[in-house]
């Protein structure tokens, strides 16, 4: 007996695999410095934790409407209005188990078999797998370091075919740290309008934006808003990765389709997490102060990591958002570490973890095989020590 073709074509998440490997080494007593983390290294702010406790005391332990409580959806609408100039009603919102789940539901709702989704490369490694699970075909458009890894309107237009159903934009971007300006989004929006395709706009790193103001492509026109599914969530913004709360904002037809599918699959997101998320979003005083501290901390670490990488002399892409830096290891592919061959970014990351106890993510799965990704969701002390070890490792590579 064979398993389904759909399941066979999906690879496991490498980011989660390497993070788990580093965590296991730590549990085994090995001192690993991890730059693998895809999550902020802060605890969830106390006012949100307190709300979680309160939810239990209030007895919020039962099913909620499958697509989320009215209270949370209303808070999400207010957030989208205040931060992104987007007017939605609760009927446009579906709360799911993390933004990853929102993306899964979105592709299930909009794709027919064979429909193409344009994905600028480098990309977060789950996008192609999510598209494939929904029967779609990922179409990658390469972007270059010269373009600051941002897709241009010309390149987007060239990639559109009669089968194009959607364009995916991740702004700020994981893994490149690229952030789109108002002008760049405007140009992309014009192409979207011309060809009448959906936009899946993953804005999960919205608040980790160091040089520009964040703009949502959905805010460009009523047409864009109607065509765009905005994906966001609590994970990165409020350091709530384990709570599993994400959301999609879309036109009513799409939101209702997602809600129906969710009502037969996972039902509602954990009721306690929903209440805590409502408090997270609506207590702006606590929320804004946490966000400003987190952003400033990441900004300082970003500067430190760039400084240390410059000193090592290894080429990297200057990130403007999120908490990752892509480092080019092209010049090291084909070299050896104490006789062990480095044939790929994956080998590089594996040998670095085993021999220098530094965890990083190889970028093959992100469509950037000459790069590795370093997360600066790590303390300044770890950044200093980890980059000492990284620099030492590079020096020992030989022909």
Binding status of residue 233 toward ligand PMP by CB under 6 A: yes
CB of 398 to ligand PMP, least distance (A): 35
Token pair, residue 235, equals: 């994970």
Restricting to residues 128-167, name those near ligand PMP by CB under 6 A. none
Q: How many CA atoms lie within 13 A of 8 on its CB side?
A: 4
Contact 358, 7 (CB under 8 A): no
Which of ligand GLU, ligand PMP, none sits in contact with 202, Cβ below 5 to 8 A by type? ligand PMP
189: left (phi > 0), else alpha (psi -120 to 50), else beta?
alpha
Bridge partners, residue 170, by sequence: 202
Q: Which residue is nearest to ligand GLU (CB)?
A: 38
Q: How many CA atoms lie within 13 A of 91 on its CB side?
A: 3
**Of residues 125 and 159, the one with the C-beta less far from ligand GLU:** 125
Give the whole-angstrom CA distance, residue 66 versus residue 111.
22
Give the whole-angstrom CA distance, residue 217 versus residue 105.
20
Which of ligand GLU, ligand PMP, none sits in contact with 13, Cβ below 5 to 8 A by type? ligand GLU
Q: Enumerate binding residues for ligand GLU (CB under 6 A).
A: 13, 15-16, 38, 124, 126, 174
Q: Nearest-CA neighbor of 84 among 320, 276, 249?
A: 249
- Among positions 36, 38, 262, 358, the unique one binding ligand PMP when judged by CB under 6 A: 38
Give the whole-angstrom CA distance, residue 394 versus residue 336.
10
Binding status of residue 124 toward ligand PMP by CB under 6 A: yes
CB of 10 to ligand PMP, least distance (A): 16
**Of residues 169 and 191, the one with the C-beta less far from ligand GLU:** 169
Token pair, residue 56, equals: 């239990």
Which of ligand GLU, ligand PMP, none sits in contact with 233, Cβ below 5 to 8 A by type? ligand PMP
Binding status of residue 99 toward ligand PMP by CB under 6 A: yes
Interface with ligand PMP (CB under 6 A): 38, 98-100, 124, 170, 174, 202, 204, 233, 235, 241, 246
């Amino acid at each position: 007996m064979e398993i389904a073709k759909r399941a066979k074509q999906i690879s496991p998440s490498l980011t989660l695999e390497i993070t788990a490997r580093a965590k296991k080494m730590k549990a085994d007593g090995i001192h690993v410095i991890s730059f693998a983390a895809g999550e902020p290294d802060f605890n969830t702010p106390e006012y949100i934790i307190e709300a979680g406790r309160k939810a239990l005391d209030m007895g919020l332990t039962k099913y909620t409407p499958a697509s989320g409580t009215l209270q949370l959806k209303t808070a999400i609408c207010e957030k989208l209005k205040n931060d992104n100039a987007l007017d939605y009603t609760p009927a446009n919102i579906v709360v799911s188990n993390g933004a990853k789940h929102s993306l899964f539901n979105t592709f299930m709702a909009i794709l027919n078999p064979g429909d193409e989704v344009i994905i600028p490369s480098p990309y977060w490694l789950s996008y192609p797998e999510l598209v494939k699970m929904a029967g779609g075909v990922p179409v990658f458009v390469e972007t270059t370091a010269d373009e600051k890894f941002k897709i241009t309107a010309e390149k987007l237009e060239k990639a559109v075919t009669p089968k194009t159903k959607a364009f995916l934009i991740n702004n700020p971007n994981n893994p490149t740290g690229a952030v789109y300006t108002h002008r760049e989004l405007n140009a992309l929006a014009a192409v979207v309008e011309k060809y009448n395709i959906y936009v899946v706009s993953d804005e999960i790193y919205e608040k980790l934006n160091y040089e520009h103001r964040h703009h949502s492509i959905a805010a460009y026109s009523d047409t864009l808003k109607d065509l765009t599914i905005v994906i966001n969530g609590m994970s990165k913004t409020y350091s709530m990765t384990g709570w599993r709360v994400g959301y999609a904002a879309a036109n009513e037809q799409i939101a209702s389709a997602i809600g129906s599918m969710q009502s037969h699959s996972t039902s509602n997101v954990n009721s306690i997490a929903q209440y805590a998320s409502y408090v997270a979003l609506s207590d702006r005083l606590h929320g804004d102060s946490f966000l400003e501290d987190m952003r400033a901390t990441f900004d300082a670490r970003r500067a430190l990591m760039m400084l240390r990488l410059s000193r090592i002399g290894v080429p990297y892409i200057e990130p403007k958002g999120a908490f990752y830096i892509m480092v080019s290891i092209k010049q090291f592919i084909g070299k050896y570490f104490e006789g062990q061959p480095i044939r790929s970014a994956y080998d590089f990351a594996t040998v670095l973890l085993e021999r220098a106890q530094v965890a990083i993510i190889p970028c093959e799965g992100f469509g950037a095989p000459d790069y590795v990704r370093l997360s600066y969701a790590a303390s300044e002390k770890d950044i200093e020590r980890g980059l000492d070890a990284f620099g030492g490792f590079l020096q020992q590579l030989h022909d």
